[in-house]
Amino acid sequence: VGVIGIEIDYEMLKKEVENLSIFDSGYAFILDESANIFYHPMLDSAQLHLETTAVNQPERSIGSNHIRYHYDGIEKEAVWILLSNGMRLYICAPVSEINSRWTGMIWNILIALLVILAMSIIATMRFTGRITKPLHDLTEAAKQVDEGNYDFSLKYDKDDEIGILTRSFKQLAANTKKRITEMEELDRQKIIINDLLMDCITILRSNEDYENACNKLLNLSASFYGADRSYIFEFDLGSQ
């Protein structure tokens, strides 16, 4: 009964361990409590004891259950766990294969980062262009206003901060143009009144058509300042 039980345990362990593999040439094997080979995929190899020796005397212990050793001219790494029956299950693979996977992963990550960086740069340039173009147009419009040209064109009309700024600047320029036009009209009328006053002075000096000239002056002043303004001058046309 004992022999049958051991055979069943061995076959079950062999079946489970055979399914364990990592990378391209990695494999699993089992050592018993005395560090003898209980199962190995290359159990018929004459140099199998060399791997057992290398595992028991590793070149480097990376962790409590992680070692590095040389076997058959190949540098390998292995991890192991202690089974409930006292045996040790090892899983090993060549260091070159382990590093190649990490190298491949690093290259994939770098390529992905480069793609993301390129997309970010393109998106940033497009987004920056959408901001800087309206601001550049506003700057050019401000230069034109400074030079006295109020007939500029600003087409940006979105509902964002730059759009609000653009509309406010256009309204400011339009109001400024309107005030300047009104001031120019006032100056023109002031020149007319000044000329008329000079004519009146000339008439007074000649004492001819005095009443007619004063009436023209009153009418022009009323149209210029407004008839309801308190500072309209009244002239006593009957006085000399």
Find the helix or strand (DSSP H, E) in which 77 lies.
Answer: strand 74-82
Which residues, 6+ apart, have CB-to-CB distance to 55 below 8 Å? 31, 35, 67, 69, 78, 90
Would you tell me how many other CB atoms lie within 10 Å of the CB of residue 172?
Answer: 11
Q: Which phi and psi (to 5°) does residue 227 adopt?
A: -70, -25
Residue 237 phi/psi, 5° resolution? -70, -15
Query: pLDDT value at position 154?
Result: 81
By DSSP bridging, strand 88-94 and strand 37-39 are unpaired
Residue length, the chain? 240
User: 201, 192, 196, 154: which is closest to 173 by C-alpha?
Assistant: 154
Task: Give the pLDDT confidence of 65-95 residue by residue, as tens digits.
Answer: 999 999 988 999 999 999 888 889 999 999 9
33 contact partners, CB below 8 Å, separation of at least 6: 86, 87
* CA pair distance 16, 2, nearest whole angstrom: 21
Collect the ranges in the chain with pLDDT lower than 50: 1-8, 228-240
As a whole number of angstroms, the longest Cα–Cα distance in the chain is 156
Please name the residue that has the structure tokens 């996977």.
101
At 170 the pLDDT is 86
pLDDT at 214: 65
